[in-house]
Amino acid sequence: MAGLALTTGAFGRYGQLLAQTAAPGGQMGTSTSGAASKGAPFRLPDLSYTYEALQPHIDAKTMELHHGKHHLAYVEKLNAAIGKHPDLTQMLLPELLAHLDKVPEDVRQDIRNNGGGHANHTMFWTIMSSNGGGEPKSGIGAAIKQGFGSLDELKKAFNGAGLKHFGSGWVFVVVDPKSGAMEVVTRPNQDTPLMEAKRVLLGNDLWEHAFYLKYNNRKEDYLNAWWNVVDWNEIGRRYDAIRSGDAVI
Ligand code: MN3
């Protein structure tokens, strides 16, 4: 698994996901004993907008708790798990998630839950914007038309799957890098298609912490409103990265 480590700079806004590659060698020397295990290789990514920015569709209090408490907790627990096996810092998070069978058993579930949570939320924040919504243009617009018939058909399939999903989890659109074929899938808890080495184009958080303060039990209203903050420019970039083999998470 060693040798998969890459520099953080290569991945632009997703660089924070890969920060673990910088920790042991830099500040900690070559030791893999106690000192390195106290490193905190993963960090909560900053948002490129304020907690108020997605209102009225997502309220500021939900954003503050979701990003500042829930996502932070995933990062902290992921760091605690990685800290027990500092050699795991040699692997990128997507590689860890795709090869959980090679992760030591005592931290496997923690890395599945919290590494999945970190990857899912990092993707989630970047595909939303105060200037979101509307119709996807150019390449991604054509791809959605080809895959689903229209944006409305995609929304119908996506919201339908999200509504039907029982309990906590996520609804995603995954893309086959080679064919460009798209599919709507759901996963429980913080599981991610990255665990199956699939590529996520976009996803929405179905946990009650994502919507309950504002929407209470009206999950369908949340699912509908969410499309108003979806950033098609970023999703277009993700699509291009997936197709060219450069996607990170
Ligand atoms: Mn969440």
Query: Contact, 238 vs 8, CB < 8 A?
Result: no
Residues 36 and 116 in one domain: yes
Q: How much is the pLDDT for 23?
A: 38
Q: How much is the pLDDT for 89?
A: 87
CA distances from 190 to 12, 30, 170 (A): 24, 33, 7
Residues 23 and 115 in one domain: yes
Beta carbons within 8 Å of 156's beta carbon, 6+ residues apart: none
Q: How far apart are CA 208 and CA 165, in angstroms?
A: 12
Q: Please tell me the distance between residue 131's alpha carbon and the centre of ligand 1 in angstroms.
A: 21
Q: Please tell me the distance between residue 196's alpha carbon and the centre of ligand 1 in angstroms.
A: 20
Residues 177 and 98 in one domain: no
Residue 10 has pLDDT above 70, yes or no: no
Q: Please tell me the distance between residue 207's alpha carbon and the centre of ligand 1 in angstroms.
A: 6
Query: Contact, 229 vs 128, CB < 8 A?
Result: yes
Q: Choose the final residue of a domain: 126, 148, 179.
A: 126
| pLDDT digits 0-9 by tens, 193-203 | 999 999 999 99
Q: Please tell me the distance between residue 146's alpha carbon and the centre of ligand 1 in angstroms.
A: 30
Q: Please tell me the distance between residue 218's alpha carbon and the centre of ligand 1 in angstroms.
A: 17
DSSP, res 150: S
Query: Contact, 133 vs 225, CB < 8 A?
Result: no
Q: Please tell me the distance between residue 30's alpha carbon and the centre of ligand 1 in angstroms.
A: 35
Tokens encoding 13: 């806004």
Least confident of 27-31, 200-204, 239-243: 27-31
Q: Please tell me the distance between residue 27's alpha carbon and the centre of ligand 1 in angstroms.
A: 31
| pLDDT digits 0-9 by tens, 122-180 | 999 999 999 999 999 889 999 999 999 999 999 999 999 999 999 999 999 999 999 99
Residue with the larger pLDDT of the pair 34 and 155: 155
Q: Which residues pair with 196 in a beta bridge?
A: none
Q: Please tell me the distance between residue 70's alpha carbon and the centre of ligand 1 in angstroms.
A: 7
Kindly report the CATH number assigned to the domain that includes residue 178. 3.55.40.20
Residues 121 and 20 in one domain: yes
Domain extent at residue 37: 8-41+58-126
String of DSSP letters for 46-111: PPSS-TTTTTTTS-HHHHHHIIIIIIHHHHHHHHHHHHT-GGGGGS-HHHHHHTGGGS-HHHHHHI
Q: Please tell me the distance between residue 107's alpha carbon and the centre of ligand 1 in angstroms.
A: 21
Q: How much is the pLDDT for 15?
A: 53
Q: How far apart are CA 112 and CA 234, in angstroms?
A: 26
Q: How far apart are CA 99 and CA 146, in angstroms?
A: 32
Q: How much is the pLDDT for 30?
A: 31
Mean pLDDT of 72-97: 94
Residues 231 and 203 in one domain: yes
Residues 122 and 150 in one domain: no
Q: Please tell me the distance between residue 138's alpha carbon and the centre of ligand 1 in angstroms.
A: 30
Kindly report the CATH number assigned to the domain that includes residue 62. 1.10.287.990
Mean pLDDT of 58-82: 97
Residue 82 has pLDDT above 70, yes or no: yes
Q: How far apart are CA 59 and CA 42, in angstroms?
A: 27
Confidence of residue 16 (pLDDT cuts 50, 70, 90): very low
